[in-house]
Structure formats: C-alpha cells, structure tokens
Amino acid sequence: MIASGTLVEIQKQYPELQKSANAAYDGAAAAKSAADIAATALHLDQRAWIGVQRGDFKWKVNDEMAFPSRVINWGKTPAMHVELVATSTVMNTQDTPAFIYTPGTGHPTMHSRVAILFGSERDLLTFNIPVYKKGTRSGEILKLTPQLLTDMQSGTAYVLVHGRVTYEDFFGISHWINFCSIYPEPSQAIPQLTNGQAICIAYNGMDKNK
C-alpha cells in the first residue's frame, strides 16, 4: 500500500499580478509623477517573485513521511536573504490549524536559507518538509501506518503542510509569502472542505510591498 502525490503549486507570486497593480496605478496617475509611475512599473517588471511547490512523492507503509518541496524565483532579478520555515502534521476533520513556528512550543519546524536565489527559474531552493507527530517537542517524524493510510483514504484524516518564506528583492524591499496545502487534495478523498482546510487555504498570501 502506498500514498503518493504529484507536483502541486502551493503558492506563487508571479508578474501577472502586475496587471491588477498597473490598473490601480493608472487610476492614481493624476496624483503621481511620471517618474514615480515609471519607477513602480520597472520594479514590478524586474523584481523577484517567489513561488513554493510541493514535489512528487510516494510513501510506502512504514516509511517516514516528508514532502519534497522547492522555492523558485520566477522573477527577472535575484532574491536575497531567502529564509524558509515550514512544518507538517496529520490533522483530523475537527482540528484547527495553528500557524506557529516558534521553537519549544510543541510545533517543530524545518528551516532553510540561502543568501541569493537567482531569477527566471534558473535556481532552486530544495528541501524536505517532514510530517511531525502532533505535539512533539523532539521533532519526532511520523511513519505511514496502515491505519493512517486508511484514515487518509476515507477522509477522516489529512496532512497539513504550511510555512512562510521571507526575502528581499534586488531593490532592497522586503517581501514575504505564506503557503499552506493539504494532502490528500479534497477532490481525492474529501469532497468538501473542513473548517481547518478552509483556514489553510485562506492562509495563503503575500505582501503587497512595492
């Protein structure tokens, strides 16, 4: 028996966001100088845009559970001081997620950082996000048991994976991106979102720093 998953775009910042941003800037053009508008357009076009992907995986019964993942810079210029904190745990349908990354609180996390992440998808920050036992303070990683596999297939349990990435763009502006996803995806095992899963989806977001 196995549990498997394919590539999932957890959260993505992408220059398509420029379209809505440019529309807002156009509406305020009367109150801005042409130089300001040009500088903003240049920044949006050239800055780093960070995305997080959960990679392909296949767990066998008794395997330790972890999600291969990666951070990608889709933008045209490097992202600097990229830092990631992430965690994952098994939830039941009544659980409410807690997005806590503070050490010693019973919410173990993994951390990764890189000084520079080049743009245009030329460089990747790759890592594994372990599925930690709920409430562990020692970082105990869960193994896939036959019962847990059955619970996930029936929809009475799911795995929550979430985290946060912070970085600076080439222009010295700080940015952040929150990400959260669930496994199995609702369409596979759970036809409707639980309250906890809806909270997970709502957690996805990014800064609006210009």
Chain centroid, CA 9 distance in Å = 8
Q: What is the C-alpha to C-alpha distance for residues 23 and 152, in angstroms, rounded to an integer? A: 44
Q: What is the C-alpha to C-alpha distance for residues 115 and 85, in angstroms, rounded to an integer? A: 15
pLDDT at 177: 96
pLDDT at 22: 59
pLDDT one-digit tens code per residue, 20-63: 555 555 655 555 577 677 767 767 788 999 999 988 888 999 99
CATH architecture of 2-12+48-206: Sandwich (2.60)
Mean pLDDT over 195-206 rounds to: 93
pLDDT one-digit tens code per residue, 119-129: 877 677 889 99
Per the model's pLDDT, the better-predicted residue between 6 and 24 turns out to be 6
pLDDT one-digit tens code per residue, 77-95: 999 999 999 999 999 989 9
**Amino acid present at 129:** I
pLDDT at 21: 53
pLDDT one-digit tens code per residue, 62-80: 999 999 999 999 999 999 9
